[in-house]
Amino acid sequence: NPAASPWPHRRDHSLPSAPASSHPPAPPAMEDAYAKSVAEVLQAFGVDRTKGLSDSQVVEQHASLYGKNVLPQEESTPFWKLVLKQFDDLLVKILIAAAVVSFLLARLNGETGLTAFLEPSVIFMILAANAAVGVITETNAEKALEELRAYQADVATVLRNGCFSILPATELVPGDIVEVGVGCKVPADMRMVEMLSHQLRVDQAILTGESCSVAKELDSTSAMNAVYQDKTNILFSGTVVVAGRARAVVIGVGSNTAMGSIRDAMLRTEDEATPLKKKLDEFGTFLAKVIAGICILVWVVNIGHFRDPSHGGFLRGAIHYFKVAVALAVAAIPEGLPAVVTTCLALGTKRMARLNAIVRSLPSVETLGCTTVICSDKTGTLTTNMMSVSKVCVVRSVHQRPITDEYSISGTTFAPDGFIYDASENQLEFPPQSPCLLHIAMCSALCNESTLQYNPDKKSYEKIGESTEVALRVLVEKVGLPGFDSMPSALNMLTKHERASYCNHYWENQFRKISVLDFSRDRKMMSVLCSRKQQEIMFSKGAPESVMARCTHILCNDDGSSVPLTMDIRNELEARFQSFAGKDTLRCLALALKRMPEGQQSLSYADEANLTFIGLVGMLDPPRDEVHSAIHSCMSAGIRVIVVTGDNKNLYVGKLVRLSI
């Protein structure tokens, strides 16, 4: 029903099938689109920004050239090749030869039954175990390449023939105009062409490891040898929009995307012989030469004895001494060496698999023993990539010392499970009874554009939007609601889906949002005008230095009164902020409110003055539980750990020290 669609003239249609033809490989993505203006990029693809591509353009000019927007599936190695690959080793080949010769000699000596098969069977069992472990590990490694497909979008909102359509993301082609908004997974590499909101922010941590979202813009950049971070006008496939709406033109699909380049780099990785494999190959070669030399020498030395009457003739004598030479060769082969090596590597591989490590081949386990430096990404590797509020600072009272109160919050995931503790580490039974915590919950729920939801398939809580804003939503759930003595236990009776945002929905239903001032780089803050029971209140959040500079009053936690913000209190709050950001390495936000004239329906930047300070929240991207012991293990083994991060230098040093101690 077109009338029910939020888009004007929207209709759903599928891409016409392209005629079968043999074309050369797809042209590469427009790699310098970031350095060109919007008009130049659109002209290069021959697309009208108001109409998009026509069906004929898609079929004739693009679909047949570029193919589908999907990462091509790697041609899996046939099972029989994987099996044969496990026997492509000199020592293994020598061992196979030894087993065969051992069996033949046993038969020639008249041995029958189990005796003839015993030694060859043991050898072949060892080789079969070696092959089985190798095939399993390599199969698991190949599956890991396909995990990149999980980052691909399913559908996209595309402008074609002058109207918007919802199409499978696989049917996008370079030149398509695509619209994205909050929560959208970017379906292809795209160049920004139009901003539909005040700003657009994208979470591209999967590419750059940045824990903060990145602001995108329309202007071209002149950076030389630009990396992903420099391409501020490019939306990369697989990243997620966390704020704003915009339109962009597709410049690369499938393998010609940033995600595709990662996959190609993984496939181009050449197998390099490990030090152990090199030593074993050298030993095998040396052993093969020595054994061959001994066999020939023994056989040649005994040529004069070939005619001995006891052998029954020259030919029988030659065969007899050949059997002697072969027996010496078999005796010289260390049958136990491959077995011991394989067993040790298999045990190492199994142990690493339990720790979710992917091992492509058994000998690569040995390289860990030669490691002297480990370079690790920080965000999402050493940390959980889930922001959470860990500390809150509020003003207690201006009439007694200490002026401020500090609370700590447990829980380091997006799950709304955790408790609030005071400075004496006593758990607060009813946090909403504290005026400042109550107003912090209100501001965090209302001055927020993110969403927290429960995913029953993954059995975990997930975010849509900025990580910092989702952390505030989780804080709201931990604070709870006022007026109910049974609130903590009552919340636990909800389903996980209801519990995800129950308290947030309560405040959103209590207040009616009227107007929003989006975050901007110059102001470093965001404000929202809300109405409740004939009262208009503006809630603000942002960088502490920006918010506190606009505050003239503070909210007291003892009695909920509002008093003037003196220089002494300001200095105390500044000291707390520096402690949070410096010593504790927390990302800080300040929250404030302001009563507005009754009936006001809009906000301006001038309204962000004479605010009442509510509190300061400090949040972190917590390290994983196992990081502490892992770093100590590396240091104990003499391995240098290098953390690759885009953090501020001082912030990074503080985090690394905290991870290490």
Residues β-bridged to residue 553: 564, 612
Nearest in space to 502 (alpha carbons), one of 526, 484, 527, 529: 484
Q: Whole-angstrom Cα distance, residue 341 to residue 612?
A: 70
The DSSP line for 208-257 is H--SS-EEE-SS----TT--GGG-TTEEPTT-EEEE--EEEEEEE-GGGS
Contact 184, 69 (CB under 8 A): no
**Count of beta carbons in the 10 Å neighbourhood of residue 114:** 8
- The structure tokens 């009442």 sit at 612
Concerning whether 584 is annotated as a catalytic residue, the answer is no
Contact 353, 359 (CB under 8 A): yes
Q: Which amino acid is at 297?
A: L
Q: Whole-angstrom Cα distance, residue 479 to residue 386?
A: 19
Query: Which is it for strands 512-517 and 525-532: parallel, antiparallel or unpaired?
Result: antiparallel
Contact 361, 89 (CB under 8 A): no
Nearest in space to 513 (alpha carbons), one of 535, 528, 534: 528
What lies within 8 Å, CB to CB, of 418 at 6+ separation is 409, 410, 411, 474, 478
Catalytic residue among 230, 281, 308, 377: 377
Burial class (CB in 10 A: 0-12, 13-18, 19+), 83: middle
Nearest in space to 476 (alpha carbons), one of 518, 511, 439: 439
- Cis before 402 (ω within 30): yes
SS (H, E, C) 45-100: HCCECCCEECHHHHHHHHHHHHCCCCCCCCCCCCHHHHHHHHCCCHHHHHHHHHHH
Q: Whole-angstrom Cα distance, residue 527 to residue 539?
A: 6
For 459, the token pair is 């059995």
For 26, the token pair is 């797809």
Q: Whole-angstrom Cα distance, residue 592 to residue 615?
A: 7
Name the region of 9 (left: φ>0; alpha: ψ -120 to 50; beta: rest): left
Cα dist. 50→17, 38, 160, 161, 444 in Å?
25, 13, 9, 9, 38
3-state secondary structure of 641: strand
Q: Which amino acid is at 556?
A: C
- The structure tokens 């069977």 sit at 121
Q: Which residues are annotated as catalytic? A: 377
